């Protein structure tokens, strides 16, 4: 558990993707990056996603009564203790060191407000996800 306020809050909205979220949380919680918290926002799942709270006690959970879609991130942002928000989808996680490096870069540059990460597809020889747009 964190001994000081976290530098970063990782926010993950989800809906009816229990197994996918579980894989993501396993990867995320095994990272060596220090001093970050995780908030998962359950968008009114009906597949048992809420039961994961008992398995992942180091994750803070917010359960919404209806599906807010991507706006569920706002519920977590209001509850975040970290001064930096790190947004993930429920099927993605950063490589080791990315959270720590992001915090350092944001702290070092007063005129930097956001960082976007390159997405690599798992199981596809780490092919870059161009979001459907070639050459990005």
pLDDT for residue 76:
97
User: Rounded mean pLDDT of the chain?
Assistant: 88
Q: Kindly state the average pLDDT of the residues 49-76.
A: 96
Candidates 40, 32, 36, 30; CA nearest to 7 is: 36
Candidates 60, 59, 62, 65; CA nearest to 46 is: 65
Find where tokens 């709270």 sit.
53
Q: Kindly state the average pLDDT of the residues 30-40.
A: 95
Asked whether the beta carbons of 15 and 40 are under 8 A apart, the reply is: no
Candidates 48, 58, 56; CA nearest to 19 is: 48
pLDDT per position as a tens digit, 73-114: 999 999 999 999 999 999 989 999 999 999 999 999 999 888
Q: What is the pTM of this model?
A: 0.86
């Amino acid at each position: 558990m964190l001994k000081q306020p976290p530098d970063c809050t990782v926010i993950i909205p989800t809906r009816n993707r229990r197994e996918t979220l579980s894989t993501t949380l396993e990867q995320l919680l095994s990272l060596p990056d220090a001093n970050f918290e995780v908030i998962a926002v359950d968008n009114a799942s009906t597949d048992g996603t809420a039961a994961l709270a008992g398995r992942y006690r180091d994750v803070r959970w917010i359960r919404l009564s209806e599906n807010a879609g991507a706006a569920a991130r706002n519920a977590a942002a209001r509850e975040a203790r970290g001064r930096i928000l790190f947004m993930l989808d429920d099927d993605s996680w950063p490589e080791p060191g990315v959270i720590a490096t992001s915090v350092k870069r944001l702290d070092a540059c007063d005129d930097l407000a956001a960082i976007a990460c390159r997405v690599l597809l798992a199981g596809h020889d780490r092919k870059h996800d161009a979001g459907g747009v070639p050459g990005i």
